[in-house]
Amino acid sequence: MTPEAIRTISQVRHEFYKLFAAEISEPVNITKGNSYSSNTAKVSWIDRYQRPNYACLYAHIAPDRLLPDRPLILRLGVNQGLNFEPTKRHQELHLNRQKLLRFELTLLPDEILKFVPWLISLLQTHEKGSGLITPPCLLNFDTLDELLLYGAWTQKAEVAFCQSMPQKPLVASQF
């Protein structure tokens, strides 16, 4: 990853976690993380059912020395993305309650802060059993079930990713 991409991720992550902590109605813990250890930066909180939750923001793809023109595309993992699983005790305590929201959202750095209020609302409406709310940017899913099963991409992130893929030249056998 280029130094500029590292700085951008760090700055966007800091702003996202700070804004998220200010807007969620639960006490949060922000772990700064270290790229040289398994301690990944994340924001975590305990929900009203006493279940541990977390969100982490990291690079899905980023420019580097070999591909300096590759776009910086981020991924927001909500209770997913760090290979973190709640302890068995927490799983047993909450078998009869609503499932924990677990999904990944792929987006561009300039889109992430727009998603803080949406994410807070999504967490709150999910706890109440309400439906999906309108996201601040176009996403490639229609239902909450699709979001939970497949994750989602913003339209701009999907376009940036597709444009970054190398195009194979057509060969005579393809005509």
pLDDT tens for each residue of the chain, 175 residues long = 999 999 999 999 999 999 999 999 889 999 887 655 566 789 999 988 888 999 999 999 999 999 999 999 999 999 986 555 554 444 445 444 567 889 999 999 999 999 999 999 998 888 777 667 889 998 988 888 888 888 999 999 999 999 888 765 555 554 4
Q: Which pairing describes strands 103-107 and 52-61: parallel, antiparallel, or unpaired?
A: unpaired
Q: With beta carbons less than 8 A apart as the criterion, state whether 157 and 111 touch.
A: yes
How far apart are alpha carbons 20 and 14 in whole angstroms? Answer: 10
Q: Running DSSP on this structure, what letter comes out for residue 163?
A: H
